[in-house]
Structure 1
Amino acid sequence: MGRTVSAPDAIASPSGDGCVVWHRRQLRTADHLAVARATREYDVACPLFVFDPAFYDDGLACDSRIRFLHECLADLQRAYDRHGTTLVFAHDDPLSTLEAFVAAGWDVVATADPTGRYGLHRDEAAATLGVDFVADDGIKRDGDSREGWSDHAEAYLTDETHSPDASAFGDHGVSSDVTIDAIEAEYDVSPSKSRVPTGGREAALDRLEAFVADISTYPESISAPSKAESKTSRLSPSLRFGCLSVRELFQYVDDHADDGRARELFVSRLYWNRHYTQKLEDWPGWMDHAVNPVFRGFNRSRHDPALVDAWKRGQTGFPMVDASMRCLRATGWLNFRMRAMCASFFSDILHQPWRIGADYFYYHLVDADPAINYTQWQQQAGVTGVNAMRIYNPRKQVRDNDPDGTFVHEWVPELRPVPPEYLDRPERLPLHLQTEFGVDVGTDYPYPIVDYEAQREETTDRHRALDDRAHEALSDPEIRRRASLSRRRRRRRSTDDSSTPGDQTDLSEFG
């Protein structure tokens, strides 16, 4: 599709040593090494964001995530205004824009952000233009992330933050007629999701303060989706777009949270955030290929578009799955336990290829982070060959995490007349009660589209048959390094989804 593109007006050579700060994902000025370096080492700093047509046309970001991004950019604009300079926008292939700046005598600095697919190729090409990618994020890039990783991450989280010299941006003299409103009109950005947090640093700081003030309720609110919506931090979109750094969040919670148990539980999630980001840095293939080669193509021959469509629409006959999928589509958010359950159901019960489900989540999630989304989908689909394989029981999840039916009743309105004690298996509702409640199972709400017990047993048998080959593949040090998600004690193989927050090897309880 052809798009109108616009680069900044004729780019003059900088007055003195000039540096472009190319913003991509880290949309803030505080604790931003590239911004700090540009203001410390150069006479003039020119902040730049390039609206990339490839991002808008690739179909992997819903309009609500795009609107959140634009709100983050508007907030970043205001931050630079306060610093006495202007954030420059371009609408073009980023490499063309950067090449024009380099040709005019500007250096370019950007943060090194682990990514894959298009973003990885873009950054590799930018490096050949001379873009200096600087790293200060707790991620090891020395080729041996397993050695001393915890100490490395700890040092990052506890180190001093970077502050730009507010008076050192200078006058970059670059102007552009590209605006956020024009981009929204160009791509017809029309968000449809509700309850989406406001993008930008100021809104994120407000949410952080409110969350920490009430953090004592956090540990008991992680797993239940209705509680998690209001009692977890809901800062994941802000971290994904870099409105706050992980270090800033760590230090604020560590300094201000009074409840020690809640503080430690939340802080552990920040370590996991860095851990899974490290996994994507180690191997960008997480987004496209099963990390254990034995599982490449697993379930491919079983692809059934009708089952996939029922899962996407929340019409599987399993109320907790259906409520979760409808919530995802309507709000762009799910707590991590429900994400894990839906991923497990898709792969282990419907026997569908994990990439299809992972890409669907990535499209709808406002906080879609490639490192967390794709590594977790592989973990829940059981294609890593390490750690215990967990198959979630969606009926048990109703009983454990929605015992009063609040979540199911909200998102599956056809079941609102049904009392909570029947919501784990509405297909077993006696006919006289269906008549009494005015709910016809099979007409108003579907029967289960698969036999859960039979599908679970088949998945367990298929994985067991591949166990020896999967472990043999892990004898390759490179595959083992990619696949191993934790040095913590391995748990026994299990199809029981009971767990406690202290024994995690995945993000299923994270909020």
Structure 2
Amino acid sequence: MTTVVWFKRDLRTRDHAPLVAAASTGEPVIPLYVIEDDYWQLPDTSGRQWAFIRDSLDDLDRQLRNAGSQLLVVRGSVIDALKQLRTHHGINRIFCHQETGGQWTYERDRAVIGWCSENQVEFREWNQFGVVRRLSDRDVWDRAWTELMRQPVLEAPAAIPKSDTLQAFPTGDTVQDFTVPDECPDRQIGGSARGDKLLASFLDRRCVGYQYNISSPNTAVRACSRLSPHIAYGTVSLREIYQQAKATGNHRNTLPRKKKSLTSFRSRLHWHCHFIQKLEDEPELELRAMHREMEALKAGPNDTERLQRWQEGQTGWPLVDASMRALSHSGWINFRMRAMLMAIASYQLWLHWRDPALHLARLFTDFEPGIHYSQTQMQSGLTGINALRIYNPVLQSQKLDPDGEFIRRWIPELAGLPSEMIHTPWLMTPTQKERYGGNTYISPVCDHEQAARVARKAVGDFRKQQVSQEETWRVLNRHGSRKGPRQARPKLKGNRDDTADQLSLFD
């Protein structure tokens, strides 16, 4: 019998249950990755994501060759690839990890399962991380997540039986010949080796002060683990990251400040799976609001000019524009800036959530559908169970980039402005502009304070008039965070506190 190990978002050999199970049979194994052209035509995929995957495939092939195997990369549909493998190599089993992706990958997986059933090919899946398929009760999720994270990390197979009928194939050519246009000059490099180095440097020294330094775009570049794309594409397993972070934090020689930082970091790993579970439980979240009644909050097409200015980093609010430009350039920005970008689009610019969400998805090298669609909706006030967070772009700028260091780096039009003027360049007098520059920077798209007041009132009025307590409770019952037995229905309200930042992306 020959087993295909189908790699999707799990591009590693260590802590890879399907690969370990296949290798343990002692029978031939074909490690397979399929480049699916249709997937790369989706509105939330991009070249920077493929480039990270391409790096990771090269590294995965290296790992497999160390175990006497190699990665087969083919281009086309998965079912066509499986048909050819069945015809020429007599495959009998397909082992893989579960994937919680968008509607396209969901339908793809269903088609593969159907083909396996029709052709008497065994199909078996394992959990990739702490997301529970067909979860019957959200109350038991936390326990299931903890149990999975405590299971031993699986060593990479020392030897992987190779199919004698599988001739040498130009995997490198297949990978390198496929391109997706995208300019991202400072994107992160993929592969398990890179992920391992990042984890080691984070646990060794970069994690100290993590919980304090991840909000500012100036300090977050180093303070954040920067493991998010490696987790998204599985070059390092979440369980291994969690266990190494816990072991380091619990070591008797670890200083209290470092222990506290790693405790905060581990909580982000928990939230990572908490948000993906939402999409697993309700796949429609990719396309409509979590709180179904909130989808009707905004009607009609988006304002094209406002959307374009936001996308290009030309809103006229320095921290917002600097964040968008930095993200476009590198494929990464820290969570607080991600939340601000989405909130500004939703409230001050009053854009329907879907277009901004797709644009950000394309820019994120670490795009993770379950986290992304849940988070973009939460930052847009569409969950019905989270406090509203309407960001003030000036106050955020003064708080997180007080000296304008980040702004000057990404908005050269403002490089000559003194710190006290850089957050509100539209308030400068003609004389000040003549002296310091800033004449070429665009004026704000609107009065952000007035726009925020209008948005807050519109959302509040809609909730009072159009939102039912039944639908709100449905969302809380299905997606709310909790430990242990469900408690009495909480009082639901919206305010301007920091709740949203506690329910954040892993970054």
* TM-score of the alignment, normalized to the shorter chain, above 0.5: yes
Correspondence for 1:54: 38
Paired with 1:175 and 1:466, the residues of 2 have a C-alpha distance of 63
Q: Cα 1:346–1:136, aligned 2, differ >3 Å: closer, same or farther?
A: closer
Q: Cα 1:21–1:92, aligned 2, differ >3 Å: closer, same or farther?
A: same
1:494 aligns with 2:485: no
Correspondence for 1:124: 110
Count of matched residue pairs: 485
The 5-angstrom pairing of residues 256-275 of structure 1 reads: 256-257=248-249, 258=254, 259-275=258-274
Paired with 1:21 and 1:429, the residues of 2 have a C-alpha distance of 62
Paired with 1:484 and 1:86, the residues of 2 have a C-alpha distance of 43
Q: Cα 1:314–1:426, aligned 2, differ >3 Å: closer, same or farther?
A: same
The 5-angstrom pairing of residues 308-319 of structure 1 reads: 308-319=307-318
1:230 aligns with 2:222: yes
1:474 aligns with 2:471: yes
Matched residue SS, 1:371: helix
Q: Cα 1:234–1:95, aligned 2, differ >3 Å: closer, same or farther?
A: same
Correspondence for 1:204: 195
Check conservation: 2:101, 2:369, Cα contact below 8 A: yes
**1:439-492 CA distance string (max 9 Å, x none):** 22xxx1122111212211121112212224434342564x44445356798785
Q: Cα 1:50–1:270, aligned 2, differ >3 Å: closer, same or farther?
A: same
**1:270-291 CA distance string (max 9 Å, x none):** 0001111111111111111111
Q: Which residue identity is paired with 1:125? A: A
1:251 aligns with 2:246: no
Check conservation: 1:302, 1:351, Cα contact below 8 A: no
Matched residue SS, 1:436: helix
1:217 aligns with 2:217: no
The 5-angstrom pairing of residues 153-192 of structure 1 reads: 153-175=145-167, 177-187=169-179, 189=180, 192=183
Correspondence for 2:448: 452
The 5-angstrom pairing of residues 360-375 of structure 1 reads: 360-375=359-374
Paired with 2:422 and 2:202, the residues of 1 have a C-alpha distance of 31
Q: Cα 1:221–1:157, aligned 2, differ >3 Å: closer, same or farther?
A: same
Is there any run of 5+ residues in structure 1 with no aligned partner, and where? 1-16
The 5-angstrom pairing of residues 108-119 of structure 1 reads: 108-119=94-105
Correspondence for 2:459: 463
Report deviation, 1:23.
0.4
The 5-angstrom pairing of residues 271-350 of structure 1 reads: 271-301=270-300, 303-350=302-349
Matched residue SS, 2:184: coil
Paired with 1:239 and 1:136, the residues of 2 have a C-alpha distance of 10
**1:97-136 CA distance string (max 9 Å, x none):** 1233345242111111111221000001111123322225
Matched residue SS, 2:94: strand
Paired with 1:192 and 1:459, the residues of 2 have a C-alpha distance of 34
**1:264-310 CA distance string (max 9 Å, x none):** 01001000011111111111111111111112243232610000000
Paired with 2:239 and 2:364, the residues of 1 have a C-alpha distance of 23
Q: Cα 1:219–1:486, aligned 2, differ >3 Å: closer, same or farther?
A: same
Correspondence for 2:399: 400
Report deviation, 1:42.
5.0
Larger displacement relative to structure 2 (233-242 or 97-106) = 97-106
Correspondence for 1:96: 80
Check conservation: 2:353, 2:380, Cα contact below 8 A: yes
- Pick from 493, 504, 507 the counterpart of residue 504 of structure 2: 507
Correspondence for 2:130: 138
Q: Which residue identity is paired with 2:239? A: R
Q: Which residue identity is paired with 2:453? A: E
Check conservation: 2:392, 2:449, Cα contact below 8 A: no
Report deviation, 1:80.
0.3
Matched residue SS, 2:3: strand
Correspondence for 1:9: none
Larger displacement relative to structure 2 (451-460 or 380-389) = 451-460
Q: Which residue identity is paired with 2:225? A: S
Q: Which residue identity is paired with 1:63? A: G
Report deviation, 1:357.
0.5
Q: Cα 1:80–1:270, aligned 2, differ >3 Å: closer, same or farther?
A: same
Q: Which residue identity is paired with 1:341? A: M
Report deviation, 1:161.
1.4
Check conservation: 2:297, 2:462, Cα contact below 8 A: no
Q: Which residue identity is paired with 1:30? A: R
Matched residue SS, 2:347: helix
- Pick from 65, 69, 75 the counterpart of residue 59 of structure 2: 75
**RMSD of aligned Cα (Å):** 2.2
Report deviation, 1:411.
0.6
Q: Which residue identity is paired with 1:90? A: V
Q: Which residue identity is paired with 2:496? A: T
**1:180-223 CA distance string (max 9 Å, x none):** 44443343x45521332211001110111111111113222100
Larger displacement relative to structure 2 (359-368 or 225-234) = 225-234
Check conservation: 1:110, 1:134, Cα contact below 8 A: yes
**1:122-158 CA distance string (max 9 Å, x none):** 0011111233222252222243241221111111112
Matched residue SS, 1:353: coil
Paired with 1:335 and 1:159, the residues of 2 have a C-alpha distance of 30
Q: Cα 1:18–1:220, aligned 2, differ >3 Å: closer, same or farther?
A: same
Report deviation, 1:35.
0.7
Correspondence for 1:10: none
Check conservation: 1:117, 1:287, Cα contact below 8 A: yes
